[in-house]
């Protein structure tokens, strides 16, 4: 049997769900009419809203703004009664904001004391730019304690804000310069030390920022007790920024060269030449901006000292002349710098035989040098290159210095005797035998101290010269006694000593006997004169002094 397929009959009923949905929609519609019906009616019907008039507030605000933009008198009046004038403003923060604007206007007009009275109330509202301007104004008005406090607060805010790095550097420089001005170097060092923080160092990659930060570190090095860590920090900053051309770069190089030359007086030639090349690079960098860089005199001065060590005297003199020229051009020449330049350049000119230039520097040093050893060197050189009264004045001054400090010539034992001999020769040439005798006596005393052995003849020759000087000064009896002492000393020598004496000072004994005979003639004792002459088998000498 074949059956046809029949689908099953539907047994579900949709009446109940549809009824529930309808009831829900109806309930929502009724609730909307009940809750929002008034708004719907107002939407179509409209409603009049009464707004109170702001004429009085606008008038008050207009008067306040007018006084803010007014002259000093109006600002002072507003500062005195601002609290009463702001009574109509209900919001306390708005009142404080207005008083901040008032304080800023007082600062702009130079009414500093009035502005400072308002500052404690509104300082917390100040933006970082406002604090920066306020700190700068405090410096202008000499209120350094307030400026330092403001800058400390400003730096606390800026140390973690990379977008304000330039403002941070400006605040640190202002604080450091104020502390140094107040001789509070430790606080200056502490302020600049904020730059050592890793998060700050990482922000100093731009050449301009690195240049300013390095300059601050060099300022720190100039006032702190230990420089080396600070110099290393400066080097790290500049190296991170790929060594920008800035004053701090040249200052660091000069500081390193100065330290190397000072701490290592016996550097080898190769090292000195490497330092010279470094200085030349430093000089070339500074010549790129000579109007801004005032360390060219110091650079050329170091270059001159270095070349003097290397024996390059021409280059030394040239570098030192340029150092003086730049110092004069910058208006920074000081007696101390001029003295240092003249001291080294005089040696270079002396070494290369430029007497005229050397004498010029030595004459300057004669007036401004303070080191006794250098003054003695100056006097010696000038005395050797002058004549007449000036030479005697120089020799006399050097003698007085030697008397006060014998250590000045301890390296040259014959210097004093040479000086005394020069003075004796000068006065003898002037026929001033009294003064000449004084210097001959000094010569004799110094020769006797250095040469206790009579057989070399130097002491006996000095005594003979003394006797001749005594006779020229009309002191015949002291002359006779001196000559007799010479004769006695020779007579008491052994034959070997006499031979040695004759070899060292040929004819000394005969000269002594001849002068004894001459002295006796001057004393009127012709018999004794003949006796002395017979001992050397000579006739009576001429009766002259």
Estimate the crossing angle of helix 112-122 against helix 72-80, to 10 degrees.
40
Q: Cβ distance 279 to 303 under 8 Å?
A: yes
Q: Cβ distance 341 to 316 under 8 Å?
A: no
Q: What is the mean pLDDT of residues 125-147?
A: 89
Q: What is the pLDDT of residues 294-331, one digit of tens each?
A: 788 999 999 999 999 999 999 999 999 999 999 998 88
Q: What is the pLDDT of residues 377-397, one digit of tens each?
A: 999 999 989 888 899 999 999
Looking from the CA of 459 toward its CB, the CA atoms found within 13 Å total 16
Q: DSSP letters of 21-58?
A: HHHHHHHHHHHHHHHHHHHHHHHHH----PPPP-HHHH
Q: Specify the DSSP class assigned to residue 291.
A: T
Q: What is the pLDDT of residues 499-540, one digit of tens each?
A: 888 888 888 888 888 888 888 988 888 888 888 888 888 777
Three-class SS of 76-91: HHHHHCHHHHCCCCCC
Between 116 and 367, the higher pLDDT residue = 367
| Max avg pLDDT among 174-178, 239-243, 459-463, 512-516 | 174-178
**What pLDDT is stored for residue 1 in this prediction?**
47
Closest to 302 measured CA to CA, from 352, 351, 372, 250: 250
Q: What is the mean pLDDT of residues 102-108?
A: 77
**Model confidence at 52, in pLDDT bands (50, 70, 90)?**
very low
Conformation bin of residue 183: beta by default, left when phi > 0, alpha when psi is -120 to 50:
left
**What pLDDT is stored for residue 323 in this prediction?**
94
Q: Cβ distance 220 to 188 under 8 Å?
A: yes
Closest to 299 measured CA to CA, from 326, 274, 332: 326
CA distances from 339 to 294, 295, 334, 344, 371 (A): 19, 18, 8, 9, 11
Arithmetic mean of pLDDT over the chain: 83
**What pLDDT is stored for residue 409 in this prediction?**
80
Is pLDDT at 90 greater than 60 in this prediction? no
Between 511 and 20, the higher pLDDT residue = 511
> Which two three-digit tokens encode residue 48?
């009049």
Q: Which of 90-99, 176-185, 352-361 has the lowest mean pLDDT?
A: 90-99
**What pLDDT is stored for residue 56 in this prediction?**
53
Is pLDDT at 280 greater than 80 in this prediction? yes
Q: Cβ distance 132 to 171 under 8 Å?
A: yes
Closest to 319 measured CA to CA, from 335, 340, 336, 289: 340
**What pLDDT is stored for residue 381 in this prediction?**
92
Residues 6 or more apart from 218 whose CB is under 8 A from it?
230, 234, 248, 251, 252, 255
Q: What is the pLDDT of residues 62-78, one digit of tens each?
A: 556 555 555 667 666 66
């Amino acid at each position: 049997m074949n059956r046809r397929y029949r689908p099953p009959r539907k047994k579900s009923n949709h009446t109940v769900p549809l009824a529930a949905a309808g009831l829900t929609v109806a309930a929502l519609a009724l609730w909307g009419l009940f809750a929002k019906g008034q708004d719907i009616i107002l939407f179509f019907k409209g409603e009049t809203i009464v707004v109170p008039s702001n004429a009085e507030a606008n008038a008050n605000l207009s008067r306040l703004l007018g006084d803010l933009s007014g002259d000093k008198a109006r600002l002072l009046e507003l500062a005195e009664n601002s609290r009463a004038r702001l009574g109509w403003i209900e919001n306390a923060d708005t009142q404080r904001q207005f008083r901040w604007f008032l304080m800023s206007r007082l600062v702009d007009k130079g009414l500093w004391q009035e502005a400072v009275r308002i500052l404690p109330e509104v300082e917390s509202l100040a933006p970082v730019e406002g604090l920066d301007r306020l700190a700068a104004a405090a410096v202008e008005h000499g209120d350094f304690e307030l400026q330092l406090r403001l800058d400390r607060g400003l730096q606390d805010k800026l140390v973690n804000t990379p977008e304000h790095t330039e403002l941070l550097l400006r605040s640190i420089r202002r604080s450091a310069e104020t502390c140094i001005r107040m001789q509070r170097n430790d606080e200056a060092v502490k302020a600049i030390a904020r730059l050592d923080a890793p998060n700050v160092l990482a922000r100093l990659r731009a050449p301009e920022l690195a240049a300013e930060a390095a300059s601050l570190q060099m300022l720190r090095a100039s006032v702190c007790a230990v420089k080396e860590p600070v110099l290393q920090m400066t080097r790290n900053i500049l190296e991170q920024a790929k060594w920008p051309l800035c004053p701090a770069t040249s200052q660091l190089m000069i500081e390193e060269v100065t330290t190397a030359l000072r701490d290592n007086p016996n550097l080898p030639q190769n090292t000195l030449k490497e330092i010279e090349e470094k200085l030349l690079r430093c000089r070339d960098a500074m010549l790129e901006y000579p109007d801004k860089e005032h360390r060219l005199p110091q650079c050329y001065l170091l270059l001159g000292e270095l070349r003097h060590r290397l024996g390059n005297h021409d280059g030394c003199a040239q570098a030192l002349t340029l150092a003086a020229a730049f110092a004069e051009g910058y208006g920074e020449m000081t007696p101390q710098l001029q003295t240092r330049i003249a001291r080294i350049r005089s040696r270079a000119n002396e070494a290369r035989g430029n007497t005229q230039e050397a004498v010029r520097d030595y004459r300057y040093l004669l007036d401004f040098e303070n080191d006794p050893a250098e003054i003695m060197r100056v006097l010696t050189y000038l005395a050797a290159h002058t004549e007449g009264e000036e030479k005697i004045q120089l020799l006399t001054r050097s003698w007085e210095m030697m008397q006060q400090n014998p250590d000045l010539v301890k390296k040259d034992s014959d210097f004093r005797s040479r000086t005394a001999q020069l003075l004796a020769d000068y006065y003898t040439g002037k026929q001033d035998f009294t003064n000449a005798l004084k210097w001959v006596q000094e010569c004799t005393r110094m020769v006797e101290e250095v040469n206790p052995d009579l057989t070399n003849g130097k002491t006996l020759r000095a005594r003979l010269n003394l006797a001749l000087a005594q006779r020229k000064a009309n002191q015949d009896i002291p002359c006779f006694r001196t000559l007799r002492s010479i004769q006695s000393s020779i007579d008491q020598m052994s034959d070997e000593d006499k031979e040695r004496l004759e070899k060292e000072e040929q004819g000394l004994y005969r000269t002594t006997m001849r002068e004894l005979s001459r002295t006796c003639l001057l004393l009127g004792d012709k018999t004794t004169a003949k006796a002395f002459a017979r001992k050397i088998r000579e006739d009576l000498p001429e009766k002259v002094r």
